Amino acid sequence: MPEKIVVADRLGAAGLEMLRALPGYEVVETAGKGPQALDAALDEAVALVVRSETKVTAAMIAKAPKLRVIARAGMGVDTIDVDEASRRKIPVLTAPGANSNSVAEYTFALLLALARKIAPASASLAAGKWDRKSFEGSELRGKTLGLIGLGRIGTRVASIAKGFGMTVVGHDPGVSAEQGEALGIDLVPLNSLLQRADALSLHAKLTPQSRHLLDDARLAVVKKGVLIVNTARGALIDDAALARALAEGRVGGAALDVYEAEPLPADSVLRTAPNLLLTPHLAASTQEAQTRVATEIASALSDALLRKDFNAAVNRAALSA
C-alpha cells in the first residue's frame, strides 16, 4: 500500500506532478473539499502539504498519527504550530525563495499606485469625471524608502528602489552592519527609520515581538504624510492605529495585501479608512511564482521522504536537540 501525501491547499500542477512521481507514495488532494475531507485524509497521512489557507494546529497534528513531514509551499510558518511539530519530531519544510521576486515587484506596484494615486483616479474616471487636479502625485526619485525586514524580499525591494533613484534605509536585528554595507543599505534603529522614511515597506517575520510593530506609539513618530506598504504579515500593523493615523493625515496613504484575519472581515476598520488601497493577498500570485513554489516544496519534500534530508526544515535545531 502506498503511503499518503495529503495536499490540503491548491498547489501548482508542476509540483503535483513531481509528488505523484515519488515511488511508494500516493497524493491525496483535499483542497476545496471542506474540513471533513481533510480530517479523513489525515488519519493515513505521512506528509501534509499546505499553503496559507490551512492552519496546522496542534489539534490537527494530533489527527495525523503517521505524520512525518509538514511542507509549507511558501515562506511564512505563522499558520503552523511549529513548536508542536518540533515536540513530535516532525520537520516543517518551507520554500523560502520561490516567491521573492513576485512579492517584491508587487510591493513596488503598490508603492507606485500610492505615490501616483492610481486607484482613486481610476475610480473617479469610471464614475464619469475628468478630474486631473485632485490626483497630483509625487515621484519616488530622491525619496527615502524605509525597509523593516531585510530577508530575500526586503533586499530585492531595495534593489528595485535603487533603480528608481531612492535612498534606502533598513532595520533588521538579524542583519549585521557589514551585511548592510554589502547590500548598500544604511542600517538604523527602528525609530530613526520611522522618522526618516518617506515610504515604509514591511518585510519582517511575524513573531510575538513583531506583532503590531506599527502601533499608535510608532505611528506617532513617522514623517507626516508617509506612505506604508505591507506585503508581509497583516498582524505587523495594528489596524485600528493605522486607521486613526490615516484619518488624522499623519499617514498619507497605505496599501495592504495581507491582514491579521483573512479573508478580511466585513466589519474591519480598514474597509472605511481613507487613503487606503486593499488587495486580497495577491503579492505571490503570479504564474512564475506559483510554479516555483510548487516545484521547490515538492523537491524539498522528496528529499525529506526519500533521503531523510531535512535541510529545508525551519525547525532543524529543535529536531536535533
Q: What are the CA-CA distances from residue 108 to residues 7, 137, 156, 199, 228 (Å)?
A: 32, 15, 10, 11, 11
Using DSSP's 3-state secondary structure scheme, residue 93 falls into: strand
Please, which pLDDT band fits residue 139 given cuts at 50, 70 and 90?
very high
Q: Which fold has domain 100-278?
A: Rossmann fold (3.40.50)
Q: CA-based diameter of the chain, in Å?
A: 69
| Bigger pLDDT: 321 vs 259 | 259
Residues annotated catalytic, as ranges: 233, 262, 281
Q: What pLDDT is recorded for position 97? A: 85
Sign of the CA dihedral running 202, 204, 206, 210: negative
pLDDT band at residue 4 using 50, 70 and 90 as cut-offs: very high
Alpha-carbon span 154 to 232, nearest angstrom: 10
Q: Kindly report, residue by residue over 58-91, the tens digit of the pLDDT.
A: 999 999 999 999 999 998 898 999 999 999 999 9
Local confidence band at 3 (pLDDT 50, 70, 90 cut-offs): very high
Q: Provide the 3-class DSSP secondary structure of residue 178.
A: helix
DSSP symbol at 215: -
Residue 26 is predicted with a pLDDT of 97
Q: pTM of the prediction? A: 0.89
- Between the alpha carbon of residue 85 and those of residues 63, 111, 208, the distances in Å are 13, 37, 18
Weakest mean pLDDT among 63-67, 94-98, 136-140, 150-154: 94-98
Name residue 177's amino acid: A
> Does position 52 have pLDDT exceeding 90, yes or no?
no
Q: Are 114 and 277 in contact, with CB atoms under 8 Å apart?
A: yes
Q: For residues 232 and 203, is the Cβ–Cβ distance under 8 A?
A: yes
| 47, 87 contact by CB (below 8 A) | no
CB count within 10 Å of CB 1 equals 6
CA 232 – CA 218 distance, rounded (Å)? 18
Rg (CA), the chain: 21
Q: For CATH 3.40.50.720, list the domain ranges present in the chain.
A: 3-98+288-320, 100-278
Residue 37 pLDDT greater than 80, yes or no? yes
Domain 3-98+288-320: give its CATH superfamily. Answer: NAD(P)-binding Rossmann-like Domain (3.40.50.720)
Q: Which residues pair with 7 in a beta bridge?
A: 29, 49
Q: Sorting pLDDT into bands at 50, 70 and 90, what band is 321?
A: confident
177: confidence class by pLDDT, cuts 50, 70, 90:
confident
The pLDDT confidence band at residue 145, using thresholds 50, 70 and 90, is: very high
Q: What is the rounded distance in angstroms from the CA atom of residue 11 to the CA atom of residue 230?
A: 24
Distance CA 117, CA 136 (A): 8
Span 268-292, pLDDT tens digits? 999 999 999 999 999 999 999 999 9
Percentage of the residues of the chain whose pLDDT score is greater than 70: 100
Judged by phi (left if over 0) then psi (alpha if -120 to 50, else beta), residue 318 lies in alpha
